Copies of this chain bind each other. A is one copy, B any other.
Amino acid sequence: MSLLFKHLRVHQIFGANTDVGKTILTSALVRASALKNNNVFYLKPVSTGPLDSADDKHVKRFGGRAAHRIRTECLFQYDEPISPHLAAQTKGAAPPPSDETLVNAIAGYISRSAKGASLEAPGHIYIETAGGVHSPTLSGTTQVEAYRPLFLPTILIGDSKLGGISTTIASYEALLLRGYIIDAVLLFNDSYYRNNEYLHAYFAERGIQVAAVPPPPPLSADTLANRLATEQYYDTLVPAAKRGADDGAVGISDIVDHLDVCHTRRLDELASMPRRTLDTVWWPFVQHGLMVDDSDVTVIDSAHSDFFSIHRAPATSSPVPRTGTSILSPEFDGSASWWTQTFGHASTALTLAAARASGRYGHVMFPQATHLPALHLAERLVKEGPGKGWAARAFISDNGSTGMEVAIKMALRAFTMRRRGEEQVIRKIKRGEKEVFGVLGLKGSYHGDTIGAMDACEESGVYTCEWHDAKGYWFDPPIVAMRNGEAVISVPAALAGQSTEKVVKVESVSWTYDVARRLDSELASVYRNYITDTLGSLSTNQDVPTLAALVLEPLVLGAGGMIFVDPLFQRILIDVVRSGGIIGLPSLGPDSWSGLPVVFDEVFVGLYRLGLESTGPLLGVLPDISVNAKILTGGLVPLAVTLASEAVFDAFLGTGKGGALLHGHSYTAHAVGCEVAGETMRIVDRLKESEGWNEAKGMWGAHPTTQEDASKVWSFWDPGFVESVSRMAEVEEVMTLGCVLAVKIKDNGGGYVSHSAQEVFGKLKDCVGSMDDMGSVAPGGAPYGIHFRTLGNVAYFMTSLNTKGDVIRSVEDRIWRTLMNRQAK
């Protein structure tokens, strides 16, 4: 996380290359800061080269009149003047510190330094990196990557030599690709190569100040003379420039002022953002009438891995925070940013994927055209992904909701074409005499917020709008959960054939998902008979529209409340629908759909969010149409893909344009989204074989191998923890699969507008831990809060596909303590 303090300004210094004057210019900054009466902290996290020479340099660096204000420290020192990753290897058998250790050590240093900082005793920290931006640090990770979790404001030391324009700009772009704030570029003047002139204009266009200073005097053989010359050199560098700054030639003192201004501007901007947001932004799904105070707004300053770096204005009632407390703190993104995050935030691999597609194509027209990112993605999904074994075509749109609108258009057309033949359909459409078609689904379903997607869901009372016109019939499904330490299936009253819900205890959560084994069970007969009877009566009910598609969120109804549907019920529903006779139309052949086209909305559940690439293999049935989004693009940009079988595709084939699927968005198959999706699929393929996955699978008794056994469900959440939570006093039930943990709080039935879950878990938002120990699992080891979302009386928590085990254990611990503390009261 980014540590940010009011009275302590921190900058990290990167070089465009090695030997560009990084140490000299940093020393000048340190001296200038000290001369302005700041307490100055100079940190060299990793140093290579003999200690003697470093000592000698230290004297050079930090002499001067204000030397008493300067503190220096080096965290990891190696003798040999080579790249740190090699230096670390040479130092005997001790393994080099991990990136996390290095970053936490730096964060600890900053945090300690902040303690004494105040308006009266302001501090400046300069952290000097080693070599160039991409020089490897001790672990072998390149520095721009390794230091990214701290997200510190940056000074780039430019290269004044021949070729230095290139290394400076390339280094700038490497920093920019990681999102760093770059406050200044410093370099030496060189009147022959004049890089400074070029870079001054170049960065001015990009809003970055460039300052050039005279190069140091040549070294002489006489040590004393050298020291004297060095002191004189610094004395000329530091004062504010008297000349105009048009040529970029300024005093280092001016730069220190500029950095102070950047710091103050950043603090001011963070402070102003809540009010400005409340004044201008209209949030989705938020009752703005309740958003009154600055403290109602979470300012996300940056994000990394599973954590936001946030600023939240203190509530008016809060005590004034201590001096030395960071204004920014990490917050675990417990909703995976609305179920999108896949590898955590700001994944460099995805940034580079977006960049290379943008650089090669930008966005290009898709109809009747093709490009590699779209074609590769289509092939991957159809042949090797969720479409394997059934899908023939990929249709690309912008988000889950549009993907589902496409799916519904496909299904309805496939149904009507088979029933009436092309001629009749087109004639009827032209006459405007359309029959009303509906979908068959489950109560609590959610397919998106555009009207077509809404119309495929039951109207529930709250979640609706003036044009919502639900068309179809929705079954009340049986639900799987852990209650009081036991796995249960809650069968709705009507389905159970009794006046109240029937709760059936089952062997285990895992057992529930072995659908094949349960097909001959008593419950299966109950389901089958109920579904058959209901569909029979629907087919003669004039109030129900012609049912033309079966539309399901397999396994979990997400936005409807994280409802884990009994998979056996969904399987039997599909089987009954497909068996024909009761509803729908007979199949035209072995490769065609029968009964109704079956649509799987896997926008939320697909692509391993529940631990499975797609839900078909577990259910033992494959869809005719399916939709993927969210994880599809790794949590970076919107994109959706609707997959369809050849039989569905064929319903739109003809010779006239009117019969085509007339749905497209301007940015259909935008190259950036497709390339990011392709990269996501590649990374997921590697993750599947990772230790983290094998460990999680092992906890659940699923095979920790790359071979997927469709009947073995698993979760990143610890089964023991889940069971314990299910026994807590305030918890009605709990359930988990893959990344998802859903905790339902006992409640008097507030439904979607209930606040009970918010109340129970409200304390999770507080930062827990002390700045002193800095030993948390969050970036930099800082105390962290947990962001979570609720759906009425259900709180859910969601990991990425690569959230580390220790992070999940820590979040589990916090959830557990929160419940225990309430129980104890």
Contacts and interface: CB of A to CB of B under 8 A. Distances in A.
Interface stretch (A374-382, A502-510, A614-622): A374-382
A462 B162 contact: no
A514 interface: no
Contacts of A652: 287-288
Interface in A387-431: 392-395, 397-402, 405, 408-409, 412-413, 416, 429-430
A544 to B, nearest CB: 15
Q: Give me the 10 closest cross-chain CB pairs, A-B, nearest first.
A: A284-B664, A132-B166, A179-B360, A451-B452, A179-B359, A18-B163, A345-B362, A412-B466, A134-B166, A170-B170
Contact of A177 (B281, B356, B365, B398): B356
A667 B166 contact: no
A465 B392 CA distance: 22
B198 A85 contact: yes
Taking the full assembly, how many copies of this chain does it contain? 2
Contacts of A382: 280
A258 interface: no
Given A19-B163, A171-B166, A467-B437, A303 B362 contact: yes
A243 to B, nearest CB: 23
A665 B365 contact: no
Contact of A273 (B348, B375, B397, B636): B375
A180 interface: yes
Interface size class of A (residues with CB under 8 A): 35 or more
A449 B280 contact: no
Nearest to A305: B362
A167 B338 CA distance: 38
A684 to B, nearest CB: 16
Contacts of A19: 162-163
A173 interface: yes
A383 B281 CA distance: 12
Contact of A363 (B173, B337, B361): B337
A721 interface: no
B466 A437 contact: yes
A354 interface: yes
A147 to B, nearest CB: 13
A511 interface: no
Interface in A159-193: 162-163, 165-171, 173-174, 176-180, 192-193
A363 B400 contact: no
A94 interface: no
Given A362-B350, A649-B288, A667-B637, A371 B465 contact: no
B282 A649 contact: yes
A274 interface: yes
17 contacts: A18-B163, A18-B166, A83-B162, A134-B170, A135-B166, A282-B642, A283-B664, A284-B665, A287-B656, A290-B655, A303-B362, A345-B362, A398-B399, A400-B666, A429-B461, A429-B464, A463-B662
A521 to B, nearest CB: 37
Interface string A643-677: 01000010011111111111111111010110000
B665 A399 contact: yes
A286 interface: yes
Contact of A133 (B166, B367, B412, B637): B166
Interface stretch (A54-62, A291-299, A531-539): A291-299
Contacts of A437: 466-467
A300 B401 contact: no
A493 interface: no
A451 B449 contact: no
Interface in A329-383: 333, 335, 337-341, 344-348, 350-352, 354-372, 374-375, 378-379, 382-383
A657 to B, nearest CB: 5
Nearest to A641: B282
Contacts of A656: 287, 753
Contacts of A298: 368-370
A449 B368 contact: no
Contact of A281 (B176, B338, B378): B378
Contact of A361 (B163, B179, B286, B359): B179
Contact of A341 (B168, B287, B362): B362
A321 interface: no
A398 B398 contact: yes
A123 interface: no
A401 B402 contact: yes
Given A83-B198, A180-B359, A302-B361, 12 more contacts: A17-B17, A17-B167, A134-B170, A280-B394, A286-B367, A291-B368, A297-B370, A301-B371, A338-B668, A354-B355, A450-B450, A637-B672
A781 interface: no
A83 B636 contact: no
Nearest to A548: B466
A132 B17 CA distance: 13
Contact of A170 (B167, B365, B379, B462): B167
A624 B597 CA distance: 42
Contact of A165 (B136, B398, B653): B136
Nearest to A644: B282
Given A375-B276, A655-B290, A283 B346 contact: no
A715 B453 CA distance: 40
